[in-house]
Amino acid sequence: MRAAIGRKPTSRVLRGVRLPVLALGLLVPPAPLLLLVSLVTPLYVDRYVLYGQSGTALLTGAALARLTRARRTRAAALTCAGAAVLALLPVTLQLRTPQSRVDDVGGIARAVAEAGAPGDGVLYLPARRRVWSLPDPGALRGLRDLALDRAPAASHTLYGTEVPAPVVRARMITASRIGAVSDPAGRPLDATPGEIVKRRVLATYFEKCGTRRVQGARVTVYARPGTC
């Protein structure tokens, strides 16, 4: 009785949803919907619709399954599948390299660790770039995150929360060296009070000692005038 009850919902779901409908539902609506919403407020990011490619995989698999059931086209279907795998292999391997990413998170973490010394401060400009250090927290060992209020885990956020702008300024003034982790040159600058204070204090009380450019980021060391 229990087994029969357990099977009924599954059979109903399988009979009620056809594979093409499911595949097209995954593949088609997300991208146009986000594009339409983006006319009002910028929202479209490719990773938000990447999961939709599973619809392409389902449609392709269904087509190959139908072809392989026919004796005359079975060899052709298998040949096409093998050719597709070989054609996509270089792309697949390239996607697994750091060069395929917008930023090299591992390289950024190493640059921060090499640029800093125990007791130095570190700043993220803007604050959301703190996410670069999350995969390798050891890169910040001995460094002080001058703007951090609550870490991502404690604040239940992706980037953590930062202290108010006056507190950021007070903490920066007490530092002798600061490593600034920022976007590449030419990116728009955030106009929030905290980000403005970070840039203003660095420009007023510190001098730039050097910049290391990593894929997708810059790590710049600032020190008190004459101490680089």
Q: What is the pLDDT of residues 64-104, one digit of tens each?
A: 777 777 766 777 777 777 887 888 788 888 878 777 777 88
Q: Which residue has the higher pLDDT, 31 or 175?
A: 175
Tell whether the model's pLDDT for residue 148 goes beyond 90.
yes
**Orientation of helix 71-95 relative to helix 53-69, angle to 10°:** 150
Phi-psi region of 182 (alpha: psi -120 to 50; beta: other; left: phi over 0): beta
Residue 105 burial (10 A CB sphere; 0-12, 13-18, 19+): buried
51 pLDDT more than 70: yes
- Which range, 21-25, 41-45, 48-52, is most confident? 21-25
CA distance 29 to 38: 14
What is the SS3 assignment for 63? Answer: helix
How many CA atoms lie within 13 Å of 61's alpha carbon, on the beta-carbon side? 9
Q: Would you say 155 and 191 are in contact if contact means Cβ atoms under 8 Å apart? A: no
Task: Supply the pLDDT for residue 159.
Answer: 86
CA distance 150 to 5: 49
Q: What is the pLDDT confidence band of residue 17, given thresholds at 50, 70 and 90?
A: low
Tokens for 202, please give them. 């660095």
pLDDT for the residue numbered 147? 96
Q: How confident is the model over 130-148, as a mean pLDDT?
A: 88
pLDDT(162) > 90: yes
Non-local CB neighbours of 129 within 8 Å, separated by 6+ positions: 181, 182, 183, 217
Closest CA relative to residue 116, chosen from 209, 50, 216, 1: 209
